[in-house]
Amino acid sequence: MELSEIAELFLQNIQQTTLIEVIAVVFGLLSVWYSKKINILVFPTGIISVLIYVYITFFAKLYADMFINFVYFSMSVYGWYHWTHPIEGKEERPVSFASRIQNLGGLLATVLLFVTMRYILINFTDSNVPTIDALTTAIFMVGMWLMAIKKVENWIYWIVGDIISVPLYFYKGLVFTSFQFAVFLIIAVAGYLVWRKEAQHA
């Protein structure tokens, strides 16, 4: 695909984008930005974004995506509570590195989620990219959990998921969304560096 065709496709996607989708994207970007800043606003902004996407995906008949956004909503509520209820003797829960058990648990959860969702997508949906779709969803769900418990490694999951998502959405013709994930990727790399530094000085 030539550069001119990419630009034309990008403009078409922008023209077809609804106001409510723009709002969801803006709050999604804000959520990732606040996460990088280790700011509690990561959760209310994220909740607004995922609830809008629940609405969007329902009417688009993207039921798997709708389910995942419900999961994101639940994890955001959990994370909001977790961040605002610090351990005894601390004003706030510190950023820290995941333990070996948490890292192994995260990898195992990723594999199990991937296998389960791939099976569901292949057998109960008309998805034409079930393997990649299941993989990114599994990665993002585990990343959300690690972010909720304030572990540095959450950014590794977001980075890997974003790297996969940029070409995935481009392939699906969703150039605007692909661009959004490219922005997410940049913020995720910066977020990892900020959180790692924070954890090292905690």
Q: What is the pLDDT of residues 18-27, one digit of tens each?
A: 788 888 888 9
Q: Are 71 and 141 in contact (CB under 8 A)?
A: yes
Reported as a single tens digit per residue, the pLDDT across 119-131 is 998 898 777 788 8
Distance CA 134, CA 119 (A): 9
pLDDT value of position 6:
64
Instruction: Report, as ranges of residue numbers, the positions in the chain whose pLDDT lies below 50.
Output: none
pLDDT value of position 202:
65
The closest alpha carbon to 30, from 17, 38, 18, 41, belongs to 41
pLDDT value of position 62:
64
pLDDT value of position 114:
95
pLDDT value of position 145:
93
pLDDT value of position 9:
66
pLDDT value of position 151:
96
pLDDT value of position 66:
77
